[in-house]
Amino acid sequence: MKSTVKQSLGRQISVFIFTLFCSLPCLAQTFPIKPIKIIVPFGPGGIADLTARIVAQKMSANLGQGVVIENKPSAGGVVAADLVAKSDPDGYTLLLTSNGTAISASLFQKLPYDTLKDFEPISTLGFFDIAIVVNESSKYSQLKDLIQAAQANPGKLNIGSINIGSTQNLAAELFKSSANLDVQVVPFNGTPAVITALRGEQIDAAVEILGPLVPQIKSKAVRLLAVTGNKRSAFFQEVPTVSEVGLKNFTASSWNGLAAPAKTPPVVINLLNKTVTDALNDPEVKAKLQDIFVEAHASSTKDLRSLLENDIKRWGNIIDKARIPKQ
């Protein structure tokens, strides 16, 4: 009797294991069977939103299913991330993640999710530059001029950025500490306010995402002194990086990527990674992203996780050094 029970139990286990391993390839072959939703933690019309829409359109064409964008701007991206973290891990609800995701991990005292454990990385989508600019009529024609003036006049120069805790704001704080400058970093409520203050000479310089500044640069309303990435901008090759000017190893850049809820099946993650990679390698997609000054860049899931981990540490150190209060 016991032998019969053992044989029956053994067959059941074998059938279960066979069904499990057979179902994984089947899942890869059938996914997706309904539209995929990308939750964007920013409002419509910004660089992150436009990037997601451009890539989603090509993903939809490649997958044969709709890939729709849902904007959930609130609380530094926490609302959007929490929604995705608590979604079914089936690949149908994704998060547009970013360096802002890493900042939130250090800026908030407590989050309703674990930034590293509750998500499965898929791929980066693109990188975009942050710029240091001055008014076109400014006497600072190079970044070293601005640095020297700030060193000669401690406490007198102001650098504008958007909201406290934003990537631009932290990049300004990083520039301030790296150059050992006694300057005031002034936060404004949005890019238009920063540009208005700069053009009105209410601030001496500004740190902002390059894309929205391009019309002002091309119309010679503002002057581009440097970009903060680890290489020169693909769109302004003649402009040096901050590191080239003298602040060695200085780097601060913005990026976007895609992530799914934790425990999403690896076959689904791998299929989504391939779909994103194919989309970003498409010449039309690359051209559309270039039009908004985003450099298309796909990655492995492992590389995206490493990028997020490193950014959490980097931005956390900058937040602590700048003594920005936890929210």
Contact between 267 and 249 under an 8 Å Cβ cutoff? The reply is no
CA distance 258 to 324: 28
The reply to whether 31-128+254-321 and 130-245 are identical in fold is yes
Report the CATH number of the 31-128+254-321 domain.
3.40.190.150
Element (H, E) at 38: strand 36-40
What is the tally of helices (H) and strands (E) in the chain?
12, 11
- The H-assigned helical ranges of 179-282 are 191-199, 210-218, 242-245, 266-280
Please, what are the averages of pLDDT over each run of 10 residues along the chain (327 residues)? 49 46 54 96 90 97 96 86 96 95 89 96 95 95 95 95 89 92 93 93 95 92 94 92 89 93 97 98 96 94 96 89 80
Q: What does the pLDDT read at residue 24?
A: 46
Query: Any idea what DSSP says for residue 200?
Result: T
Q: In this structure, which topology does domain 130-245 adopt according to CATH?
A: D-Maltodextrin-Binding Protein; domain 2 (3.40.190)
CA distance 176 to 296: 29
Q: What does the pLDDT read at residue 11?
A: 53
Q: What does the pLDDT read at residue 28?
A: 53
- pTM greater than the 0.85 cutoff: no
Q: What does the pLDDT read at residue 23?
A: 45
Q: pLDDT digit string (tens) for 13-68?
A: 444 444 444 444 555 568 999 999 999 998 888 889 999 999 999 999 999 999 99
Q: What does the pLDDT read at residue 26?
A: 52
Domain ranges of the chain: 31-128+254-321, 130-245
Query: Any idea what DSSP says for residue 254?
Result: E
Query: Any idea what DSSP says for residue 292?
Result: T
Q: What does the pLDDT read at residue 327?
A: 75
